[in-house]
């Protein structure tokens, strides 16, 4: 299914405001790969970009493409899109009254926050590797006969994946010769929090430890008090490798309870989608 969005002048004005506010903060706080990505993708600061134009510059670099979605995607579908080098991209944009905070993704968060990172080969390969972990989770529980145990273990593994994604892809920091820089898209699309993440004394910044990240719950409605630091995208890739290996070894079968939480229908949908490989059969999903 090809989704289309018709943007009016008000929509473009919101994009223009968001972009103008973020540009100086990107220059100060964003990592080099992101800045290179913004330049490569040739965003128009005044108009919401068309995905086909974004993909024209993006795909030759890493094989990734932004793919329009109309709303929430089930967890497996989202993870498997990454495995297939597709990034589910929200096509709606926030209202002018929501410039500072929006609880769900919009096109500014997805295109201006996430997609520039997808131009970097090392980061792109990390996303693909992360997406493969969803298949590992399904393989891990496929032989279990007890339905309750199957769903419980799957819930634990998906929770570990979601927490890892949150503390890295969404809210990650990276060392550089110029000091700490931001690579997490939740920070790169937030005017207030990008500065807060680097400058505030109230933020605990720690080297990324897998065992800490996967057992740490999070809340989405305020600035994050805990952020993790990686040394490089190669370092991040190695951590995804370890996440997958721990999953195979059963170390993610019982992670600490807390957010995010999953409904039973979500878990059953994860199993069914994995068994059918729906993203490859049905383009409606991502």
- State the catalytic residues: 109, 114, 170, 189
Contact 181, 174 (CB under 8 A): yes
């Amino acid at each position: 299914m090809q989704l289309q969005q018709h943007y009016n002048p008000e929509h473009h004005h919101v994009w223009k405001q968001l972009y103008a506010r973020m540009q100086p903060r990107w220059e100060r706080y964003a990592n080099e790969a992101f800045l290179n990505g913004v330049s490569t993708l040739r965003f128009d600061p005044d108009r919401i970009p068309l995905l086909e134009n974004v993909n024209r510059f993006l795909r030759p670099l890493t094989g990734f493409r932004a793919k329009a979605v109309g709303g929430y995607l089930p967890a497996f579908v989202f993870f498997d899109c990454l495995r297939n080098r597709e990034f589910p991209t929200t096509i709606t944009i926030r209202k002018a009254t929501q410039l500072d905070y929006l609880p769900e993704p919009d096109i500014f968060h997805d295109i201006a926050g996430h997609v520039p990172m997808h131009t970097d080969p090392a980061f792109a390969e990390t996303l693909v590797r992360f997406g493969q972990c969803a298949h590992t989770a399904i393989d891990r529980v496929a032989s279990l006969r007890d339905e309750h145990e199957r769903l419980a273990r799957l819930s634990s593994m998906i929770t570990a994946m979601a927490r890892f994604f949150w503390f890295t892809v969404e809210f990650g920091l990276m060392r550089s010769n110029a000091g700490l820089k931001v690579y997490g898209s939740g920070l790169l699309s937030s005017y207030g929090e990008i500065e807060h993440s680097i400058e505030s004394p109230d933020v605990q910044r720690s080297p990324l430890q897998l065992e800490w990240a996967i057992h740490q719950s999070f809340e989405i409605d305020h600035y994050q008090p805990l952020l993790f630091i990686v040394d490089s995208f190669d370092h991040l890739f190695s951590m995804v490798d370890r996440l997958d290996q721990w999953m195979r070894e059963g170390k993610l079968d019982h992670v600490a309870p807390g957010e995010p939480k999953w409904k039973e229908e979500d878990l059953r949908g994860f199993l069914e989608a994995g068994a059918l490989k729906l993203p490859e059969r049905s383009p409606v999903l991502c």
